[in-house]
Amino acid sequence: MPKEYSAFLPSIKDLEVGEGVKLMIRDLTPGPRKYDARYVEAIIANSLEKLPEADTLIVRSGTGYTYPQRYAIKITKELGQFPPEGGWPSFFLPPKGCPNFQEEPRYS
């Protein structure tokens, strides 16, 4: 059964199509693993027809808008649960001037 994943990107223009694409995805397949987040390397295609036996990728903007086009994703490598340090997209970080903004992470 094909799975369904989502990825949050600042803009649809930021989605790379091809091999070796690294991105954070969230599993949308019903069951106990629904909403699990993973950092993966994958092959992305513009349509499900271009990548046989692939899963579905739904792309959402940083504000939550769901883009209507569905992409094909075939995970080639699990890279862990989180991207490497400094690898988070900027829309996940608070804007400068926000009371919670930190130039450098603080540890207690």
pLDDT digits (tens, 9 = 90+) for 15-61: 888 888 888 888 888 878 788 888 888 899 998 888 888 999 999 88
* Rama region for 33: left / alpha / beta (φ>0; ψ in -120 to 50; rest): alpha
Is the confidence at residue 94, as pLDDT, over 60?
Answer: no
**Partners of 5 in the β-ladder:** 27, 57
| pTM confidence score | 0.73
Backbone angles phi, psi at 90, to 5 degrees: -65, -25
Which position has the token pair 């790379």? 16
Q: Can you give the pLDDT at residue 88?
A: 52
- Would you place residue 97 in the very low, low, confident or very high pLDDT band (cuts 50, 70, 90)? low
| Whole-number CA gyration radius for the chain | 15
- 79 and 39 Cβ atoms separated by less than 8 Å: yes
Q: Which residue has the higher pLDDT, 78 or 82?
A: 78
pLDDT of residue 91: 47
Contacts of 50 (CB under 8 A, 6+ apart): 72
CA distance 107 to 18: 38
Mean pLDDT for the stretch of residues 100-104: 52
